[in-house]
Amino acid sequence: MIAQPAPKPEILARRAEILAALSTLVPGDGVIGDPTRLKPYETDGLPAYRQVPLAVVLPRTTEQVAAVLRYCHVNGIRVVPRGAGTSLSGGALPLADSIVIGLMRMNRILDIDLDDRFAVVEAGVTNIGITKAVEGDGFFYAPDPSSQLACMIGGNVMMNSGGAHCLKYGVTANNLLGLKFVTIEGEVIDIGGAHLDAAGYDWLGLITGSEGQLGIVTEVTVRILRGPEGARAMLAAFKGTEIAGAAVDAIIGSGIIPVALEFMDKPCIHACEAFAHAGYPLDAEAMLIIEVEGSTAEQDDLLNRIKAICERFDPISLKVADSVEQSLAIWKGRKGAFGAVGRISPDYLCMDGTIPTSELPHVLKRIGEMSVQFDLKVANVFHAGDGNLHPLIMFDANDPDSFRRAEAFGAAILTLCVEVGGCLTGEHGVGVEKRDLMTVQFTARELDQQRALKSAFDPQWLLNTAKVFPLQGASVAMAAE
Amino acid sequence: MSATLAPPDEAGIAAAIVAAHAAREPLVIEGRGTKRGLLRPVQAARTLSLRKLSGITLYKPAELVLSARAGTPLPEIEAALAEHGQHLIAEPPDLRALLGGEEPATLGGIVAANLSGPRRIAWGAMRDHVLGVRFVNGAGEVLRSGGRVLKNVTGLDLCKLLAGSYGTLGVMTEVTIKVLPAPEATATLIIEVPDLDAGVRALSAGLGSPFGVSGAALLPGAPHRAALRLEDFAASVSYRMERLREDLARFGTARRVIEAEESRAFWRGVRDAVPLAAQPDHAVWRVSVRPSAGPAVAAAAQALGGRALLDWGGGLVWVAAPATVATHDALAAAAAVSGGTCTLFRAPDSLRLTVDVLPAEPAPLAAIGARVKAALDPAGILNPGRMRAGL
Ligand SMILES: Cc1cc2nc3c(=O)[nH]c(=O)nc-3n(C[C@H](O)[C@H](O)[C@H](O)COP(=O)(O)OP(=O)(O)OC[C@H]3O[C@@H](n4cnc5c(N)ncnc54)[C@H](O)[C@@H]3O)c2cc1C
Ligand SMILES: Cc1cc2nc3c(=O)[nH]c(=O)nc-3n(C[C@H](O)[C@H](O)[C@H](O)COP(=O)(O)OP(=O)(O)OC[C@H]3O[C@@H](n4cnc5c(N)ncnc54)[C@H](O)[C@@H]3O)c2cc1C
C-alpha cells in the first residue's frame, strides 16, 4: 500500500466545526459528513486505494467554490478536487484530513456558439454531454476518452485526457480556449476565452494536465468542430507484433493520418472476442483497427491505400467495413476491452505509458517476459499512432501477494517505457499511483523546478496534496514554506 | 552595443547563465537576434546568442518526430522535412521580406515566440506541437520537460509555459516537435465579398463545413476577398473544393480557385503578413478575438488610419497603424469589447516603453506570474522587461 502523509491532528479534531462552517458556505444539501454517505468518495477508478475524507462539499457555483477554498486556505485544510472519479491513477483519492470538492453539480452548458465554434460549459458537464449538445448541428467535441459517458470536462482538463481519435484531433490541451479558475486563496480568474492564443504566458497550457495541483476549474471554454461527412473502420491482423508495428510505420510514412489507429495483442484480441463476438481473428498475434474519415469516395480511396500497404505485410486477414454497422462491429470489441478483461480476471491494473512507436516490438516482447517473471497475465491495447500503451495487468485483489506483484509489474513496465525514450503516463495522469516513479523520469532538480511552480500557485501545498510528486521531496517543499 | 556570447554547446549556455546569475547581470537572449523590435526592448550589457547551437539531433519520419538544437535555422529544418515529404504543422511566419533583415528565424525563437501561421485554426499552434524541450533556467540549471512521444502528461507541462515566454523563463537548448506529412495537393477558394462582416460569415460557414478547411483569411481592399484553403490528397481536394464552392455560393458572386504553387504562395503571403507591407513605418499589433468580432477590430483600425489583415477565420487581426499611444489604447479597447486581447508586436522603442505591450493580467494572476518568474529565474536575469515592465 502506498504511503500517505500523516493527517494533521488539529484538523481532525476540528471536524464538527469545519462541517458547520462549510454548511454555511454551501447551504442546503451541499455538505456531506455522514460516514455512510462519505463512503462512495473513498476511492476513484483505482479502487485498490481507499480513504474516507473528512467531508465532501458539492458546490453549485463558482462563488461557492471560491468561498470554500478561501476557508480552507485560511484554516490550512487540504482539498481534493473531484469530477466523476474515473481517474485510473488515484488522482481523486482523498486524505483523512482533506475535504473533497465534488464538481458534479456544476453541470450546466452556459453557451454554445456555432459561428465562432466554441462552447462554454461548467466543469461537471460530462465529456459526451458537450458533443450531445452540438451533434444535432453536425458538430462535436473532439477528445473522446473511453470513459466519455462518465468523465467530466474539468477532470479531462486536469488529466489532459485523450481518446482513440487524438492522432488527428489532439488531446484536451489542443481543444481548449479558456478556463474559469479558482486559486487556493479563493480568487476567481478568467484564463483565455473564446479566442485562440491569448497573449502572455500560456497559463492554459500549464494548468492543463496539472492534476488538481494548481487550483480548481469551474468553467471550461472548448473548441467545437464540425464532424466529417462520414467515417469507416477496417481491421488488419498479422502474424507478429513486429510485423504489425512495421505496418503502422508504413501507413503513417505514406502520408495518411488515420483518425484512429489502435493496436491489440493476442491476449487482448481473445478477451475482447469472447466478450463482444466482433469476429476478431483468434489466430493473429496482433491486430490493428484503422479508421478514416470523409465522403464515401474518400473513405474508399483511403481504405484502399491502407489495404494495399497492409497487403505488403502478409496479413492473416483484412476486413474493410462496407457499412456503418460493420464499422461499429469492428469497434465494439475494442471499446469493450476493459470490460472484457474484467470478465476474465477478477481485477486488473490499467497501465498507461508511452513509447516511441519504433520501440513497440521490443517493449511488447519485454512485457511478455515480465508476465512470466511476475506470474501474472497481461493484455495489451495500444493507441499505435501516438505511442500510448495500455497494458492491463490481471491479478486477484483478495490475494495480497498477487496485488503486490501486479504493482511491481506495473512499475517495471513504466520504467521500461522511460528507458526506451517514452514517459510514465500518456493520458491517465501520475496521481498517487505513479507518484514515486517520477524519479525514474525526472532528475531531482527537474522535480524541484516543478515543485517550485506548484508553490507559486499553492504555497501551503493544500491542493491535492501527496499526488504527482514523490512524497519525500514534496514534504521537503512543504516544510520549506 | 552590448557584448555577445555565443557558446557552441549547452554546457556553454549553462555556464554563461550561471555566471550571469551569480553576478545578478541581465542577459538578452537571442536566436539570431533579428527580432529586437518585437514586444519590449531589453536593457542588458550582454547578449546570449543561440546561433552556434545548431543542428538536427533526431528525425524519425515514421514517428512524426524531429529534435533540433534551439539555434537551428528554420530553413534547415524545413529542407530536412521536405526530403521526406513532411512539413511543420504550425507554418510559422517568416517576415524577413516584409520587415527587412537577412537572418533566418531559429527553432528556439519561433517556439519562444509561439508564432503560428494560418494552419493554426485546423491543426493547432506552434506550442501544440512541442513535445519536449531541454532548457537552462535562470539559475543555470539544465532541465527537461516533455519528451519525444506524442502523448505525455507526466508532471507539469513546462513546454507549454516556455512556448510564448519570449526567453523570459528559460533558454531552450533543444526542442522536439511533432511534424506531419505534407499534403499532396492544395487549393484555395477566393470569394469577393461586399464587406468584412460578409467575409467572416463566409469563412465561418467554410470552417463549419465538414471539408477540413485549413486556412481562412480575409484580405481587405476593393473588393474584400475571403480565402479558404483545402489541403489533402488530390482527389479529396478536388471533391471538397467542388462542394465548398456550392456551399458558399450565397456569399459572393465572383469566385475563383487557385491551386498548387499559386495557392501555396498566396498563403505564404498571409502567413508572413505581406498585405501589411504598405506601411513599413507603422507599428504592428496582433489582436486575438472571437472570429465574429474581427471585423469590428478591423474597422477600428481603419478609423485610426491603419490597415488590417484577418486570419484564423477572422479571429487573428494583424493591424498596421500609426505608432501612437492613442492607437494602442483604442485597439486594446476594441479587442476587450468581445473579451479578446491585443498585443503591441512591433513599434519604436518610445512607444514600446510607454504602453503595456501585452494586456494587463488580473492582479491575482499577475502575482502568480511574478512568483512563477521567480521560480524559474530567481535573479531576474533572463530578458528582464521583455514582456512586461519590471518583470
Ligand atoms: C473505463 C475507463 C476508460 C478510460 N479511458 C480513458 C481514455 O481513453 N483516455 C483518457 O485520457 N483517460 C481515460 N480514462 C481516465 C479518466 O476517465 C480520465 O482521466 C478523466 O479525464 C477523468 O475525469 P473525471 O471527471 O472522472 O476526473 P476525476 O477522476 O474525478 O479527477 C481526475 C483528476 O483531476 C482532478 N480534478 C477533477 N476535476 C477537477 C476540477 N474541476 N478542478 C481541478 N481539479 C480537478 C482530480 O483531483 C484528479 O486529480 C478512463 C477511465 C476509465 C475508468
Ligand atoms: C510584426 C512582426 C515583425 C517581425 N519582424 C521581423 C524582422 O524584422 N526580422 C525577422 O527576421 N523576423 C521578423 N519577424 C519574424 C519572427 O519574429 C521570427 O521569425 C521569430 O521571432 C524567431 O526568430 P529568431 O529565432 O531570430 O528569434 P529572436 O528574435 O532571436 O528571439 C525571439 C524571442 O525568443 C527568445 N528566444 C530566442 N531563442 C530562444 C531560446 N533558445 N530559448 C528561449 N528563448 C529564446 C528571444 O529572447 C526573444 O524574446 C517578425 C514577426 C512579426 C510578427
Say if residue B98's pLDDT is above 70: no
d(CA A67, CA A218): 13
Counting from 1 in the atom list of ligand 2, the atom nearest the Cα of B36 is: 29
Question: What confidence score (pLDDT) does residue A480 get?
Answer: 42
Question: What confidence score (pLDDT) does residue A22 get?
Answer: 98
**Cβ contact (<8 Å) for A205 and B163?**
yes
Say if residue B97's pLDDT is above 80: no
Among candidates B62, B152, B362 on the partner chain, residue whose Cβ is nearest the Cβ of A253: B62
**Cβ contact (<8 Å) for B154 and A423?**
yes
Dump strand ranges (E) for A78-143. Answer: 78-82, 98-102, 109-113, 118-122, 139-140
Nearest ligand to the C-alpha of residue B30?
2
Asked if residues B325 and B316 have their Cβ atoms less than 8 Å apart, the reply is: no
Ligand 2 binding pocket includes B382 (Cβ within 6 Å) = no
B294-303 and B325-337 helices cross at what angle (nearest 10)?
160
With left for phi above 0 and alpha for psi between -120 and 50, is residue A162 left, alpha or beta? beta
**Cβ contact (<8 Å) for A447 and B155?**
yes
B103 to B46, B106, B281, B345: CA distances (angstroms): 20, 9, 21, 19
Cell of A356: 516511441
CB pairs under 8 A between A and B: 254
Ligand 2 binding pocket includes B258 (Cβ within 6 Å) = no
Bridge partners (DSSP) listed for residue B86: B181
Question: What confidence score (pLDDT) does residue A481 get?
Answer: 41
CATH topology agreement for domains B1-182+360-391 and B185-271: no
Chain A, 80 to 139: residues with Cβ < 8 Å from chain B are: 113-118, 138-139
Ligand 1 binding pocket includes A160 (Cβ within 6 Å) = no
A6 has a chain B CB within 8 A of its CB:
no
Among candidates A201, A255, A454 on the partner chain, residue whose Cβ is nearest the Cβ of B181: A255
Q: Where are the domains of chain B?
A: 1-182+360-391, 185-271, 275-352
ipTM of the complex: 0.96
Among candidates B156, B163, B369 on the partner chain, residue whose Cβ is nearest the Cβ of A450: B156
d(CA B71, CA B172): 9
- Chain A residues within 8 A of B297 when measuring between CB atoms: none
The Cα of B12 is separated from the nearest Cα of chain A by a number of Å equal to 19
User: Residue A215 Cα, ligand 1 centroid: separation in angstroms?
Assistant: 16
Dump strand ranges (E) for chain B. Answer: 3-5, 27-30, 46-49, 56-60, 65-69, 86-87, 130-136, 142-146, 171-178, 180-181, 185-193, 215-219, 224-232, 255-259, 283-288, 307-311, 316-321, 341-346
d(CA B232, CA B242): 14
State the fold for domain B275-352.
Answer: Alpha-Beta Plaits (3.30.70)
Cis peptide before B210 (omega within 30 of 0): no
Give φ, ψ of A137 to 5 degrees.
-100, 10
Amino acid present at B180: L
Question: What confidence score (pLDDT) does residue A95 get?
Answer: 97
Chain A, 359 to 398: residues with Cβ < 8 Å from chain B are: 383, 385-388
Question: What confidence score (pLDDT) does residue B12 get?
Answer: 98
Under CATH, which architecture does the B185-271 domain have?
2-Layer Sandwich (3.30)
pLDDT in tens, A353-407: 999 988 888 999 999 999 999 999 999 988 888 889 999 999 998 999 999 999 9
Nearest ligand to the C-alpha of residue B383?
2
**Cβ contact (<8 Å) for B152 and A201?**
no
Bridge partners (DSSP) listed for residue A55: A99
Amino acid present at B96: R
d(CA A121, CA A110): 5
Question: What confidence score (pLDDT) does residue A26 get?
Answer: 98
Mean pLDDT for B265-280 is: 84
Nearest ligand to the C-alpha of residue B135?
2
CA-nearest residue for atom 14, ligand 2, is B95
- Chain B residues within 8 A of A138 when measuring between CB atoms: 210
User: Residue A422 Cα, ligand 1 centroid: separation in angstroms?
Assistant: 22
d(CA B328, CA B356): 9
B300 to A47, A93, A426, B310, B330: CA distances (angstroms): 57, 52, 45, 13, 8
Nearest to A457 by CA among A132, A154, A201, A97: A201
A339-343, A449-453, B23-27, B276-280: lowest mean pLDDT where? B276-280
Sequence-distant (≥ 6) Cβ neighbours of residue A304 within 8 angstroms: none
Mutation test of ligand 2: which of B32, B38, B357, B386 has the most ligand atoms closer than 8 Å to its C-beta? Answer: B38
**Cβ contact (<8 Å) for A387 and B201?**
no
Nearest ligand to the C-alpha of residue A334?
1
Say if residue B168's pLDDT is above 60: yes
Cell of A205: 497550457
Question: So what CATH class is B1-182+360-391?
Answer: alpha beta
Mean pLDDT for B338-362 is: 93
Residues of chain A with pLDDT under 50: 476, 479-481
Mean pLDDT for B290-308 is: 96
Q: Are strands B46-49 and B27-30 parallel, antiparallel or unpaired?
A: parallel
How many Cα atoms are found within 13 Å in the side-chain-facing hemisphere of B291? 26
**Cβ contact (<8 Å) for A354 and B289?**
no
A349-363, B9-23, B206-220: lowest mean pLDDT where? A349-363
Give pTM, 2 decimals. Answer: 0.94
Question: What confidence score (pLDDT) does residue A253 get?
Answer: 85
**Cβ contact (<8 Å) for B235 and A298?**
yes
Say if residue B218's pLDDT is above 70: yes
